[in-house]
């Protein structure tokens, strides 16, 4: 079978970013490169074209809305995990908005009625609580359409779904495993059977079983979904495969993904929806930092103008060791340093790295893959300033800079 991916940019993103001149970038800064971002989008678009599936940007992983016009040329919309994300998608992306939360308040539902196209429920009890409100709103919308009114969103009716839990293996770390034993995410088949005859008003099913995984994990999850929920699938209009698909990773088997989606669509007669977050902006951005000081304590420690706790929190939460352009593992190169952040948290260390030469204050370090789960999760602990957000175009020209200061820290408190 012909491979669908034809590279437009260097697949070795470290080699690509090592050629970019960051010397004039004020540190710390997140730098998003539109050329690399578009490369990812072209891969996703080819999956769409080949399978007819719907692909959404998961805002929980990447929500730099200044790049939404570019992303909107390739993808169908966004998926949201809160009212604020849904509103951002409606106002700035301007295409489909699919929303899910473990539970909704009445206020949430009222606001989602204004900005969401798909509303996915985590339980039948919540669906039962709010279905009359939603179906009533849809009837009013359809009635208004019949009168040919021109109000914004007049053609939009909300489709509702139920999140299911296939109880598949999922991610190894239970912190990121939505199918772990005792998970609060999704309805298990044991619970679903109790309500399976009460699906009036439900248009689709949603499952999310993956985290940074290849297509083999999806195939396992689909087997479990079909084995447990197969009798309900043909009653649906759509099935949402959730996120966690590392589609734009170099070793991802895109052809196998396309076969799975196409086979599933044909077998059940449903629209397939995929919600990648990381895959959209995978390796499309970096965090540029500077060395502030070098100290000695059981080895050399470099203090940076960035911080794991504030600026790349998944380094501590996952945990993981982000790669740095030109750096190696401890002891691999001549000079090894432990890199520490700016906060007063004792454990605010990014990791240990080795370099060809000694580090000194003023040296720049470029952390890779820092467009995803950084800007959306960073914090203002200790009042440390957030990094600037810099967008570069295909020619490496800076086209946008967002700066943060005291105002962001002050206004989040009272």
Residue 203: the pLDDT is 97
Rounded Cα–Cα distance for residues 78 and 327 (Å): 36
Between 139 and 4, the more confident residue is: 139
Residue 114: the pLDDT is 95
Rounded Cα–Cα distance for residues 351 and 17 (Å): 21
In this prediction, residue 379 has a pLDDT band, given cuts at 50, 70 and 90, of very high
Rounded Cα–Cα distance for residues 186 and 295 (Å): 49
User: How is residue 152 written in tokens?
Assistant: 């914004």
- pLDDT tens digit sequence for 133-160: 998 888 676 555 433 333 445 567 899 9
- pLDDT tens digit sequence for 274-283: 999 999 999 9
Residue 154: the pLDDT is 53
Residue 414 DSSP label: -
- pLDDT tens digit sequence for 40-66: 999 999 999 999 999 999 999 999 999
Residue 168: the pLDDT is 79
Between 150 and 104, the more confident residue is: 104
Within a 10 A sphere around the Cβ of 199, how many other Cβ atoms?
16
Residue 197: the pLDDT is 79
- pLDDT tens digit sequence for 157-194: 899 999 999 997 667 778 888 888 888 999 999 999 99
C-beta contacts of 178-186 below 8 A and 24+ residues apart: 178/208, 178/209, 179/209, 179/221, 184/102, 184/122, 185/102, 185/122, 186/122
Going from the C-alpha of 350 to that of each of 222, 283, 292, 323, the distances in angstroms are: 36, 18, 15, 10
Structural domains in the chain, CATH included, are 52-281 (3.20.20.10), 285-411 (2.40.37.10)
Instruction: Please spell the DSSP secondary structure of 223-268, one letter per residue.
Output: HHHHHHHHHHHTT-SEEE--S-B-TTSTT--HHHHHHHHHHHHHHH
The overall pTM is greater than 0.95: no
Mean pLDDT computed over every residue of the chain: 92
Least confident of 153-157, 400-404, 410-414: 153-157
Residue 7: the pLDDT is 42
């Amino acid at each position: 079978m012909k491979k669908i991916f034809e590279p437009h940019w260097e697949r070795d993103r470290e080699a690509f970013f090592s050629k970019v001149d960051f010397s004039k970038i004020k540190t710390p800064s997140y730098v998003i490169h539109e050329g690399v971002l578009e490369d990812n989008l072209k891969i996703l678009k080819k999956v769409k074209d080949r399978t007819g599936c719907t692909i959404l940007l998961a805002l929980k992983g990447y929500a730099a809305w200044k790049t939404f016009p570019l992303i909107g040329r390739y993808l169908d919309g966004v998926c949201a995990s809160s009212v604020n994300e849904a509103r951002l998608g409606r106002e700035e992306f301007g295409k489909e908005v699919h929303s899910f939360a473990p539970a909704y308040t009445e206020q949430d539902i009222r606001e989602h009625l204004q900005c969401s196209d798909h509303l996915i429920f985590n339980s039948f009890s919540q669906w039962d609580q709010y279905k009359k409100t939603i179906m009533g709103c849809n009837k009013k919308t359809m009635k208004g359409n019949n009168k040919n009114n021109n109000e914004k969103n007049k053609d939009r009716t909300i489709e509702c779904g139920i999140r299911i839990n296939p109880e598949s293996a999922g991610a190894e770390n239970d912190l990121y495993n939505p199918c772990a034993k005792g998970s609060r995410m999704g309805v298990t088949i044991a619970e679903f059977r109790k309500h399976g005859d009460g699906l009036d008003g439900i248009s689709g099913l949603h499952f999310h079983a993956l985290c940074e995984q290849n297509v083999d994990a999806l195939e396992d999850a689909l087997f479990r979904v079909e084995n447990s929920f197969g009798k309900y699938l043909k009653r649906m209009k759509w099935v949402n495969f959730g996120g966690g698909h590392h589609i734009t990773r170099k070793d991802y088997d895109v052809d196998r993904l396309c076969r799975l989606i196409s086979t599933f669509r044909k077998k059940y007669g449903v629209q397939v929806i995929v919600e990648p977050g990381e895959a959209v902006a995978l390796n499309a951005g970096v965090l540029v930092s500077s060395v502030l000081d070098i100290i000695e304590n059981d080895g050399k420690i470099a203090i940076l103008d960035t911080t794991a706790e504030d600026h790349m929190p998944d380094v501590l939460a996952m945990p993981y060791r982000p790669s740095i352009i030109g750096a190696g593992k401890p002891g691999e190169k001549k000079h090894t340093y432990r890199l520490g952040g700016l906060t007063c948290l004792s454990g605010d260390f990014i990791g240990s790295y080795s370099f060809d030469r000694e580090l000194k204050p003023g040296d720049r370090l470029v952390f890779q893959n820092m467009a995803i789960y950084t800007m959306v999760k960073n914090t203002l602990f200790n009042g440390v300033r957030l990094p600037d957000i810099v967008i570069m175009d295909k020619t490496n020209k800076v086209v946008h800079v967002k700066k943060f200061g005291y105002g962001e820290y002050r206004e989040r408190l009272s």
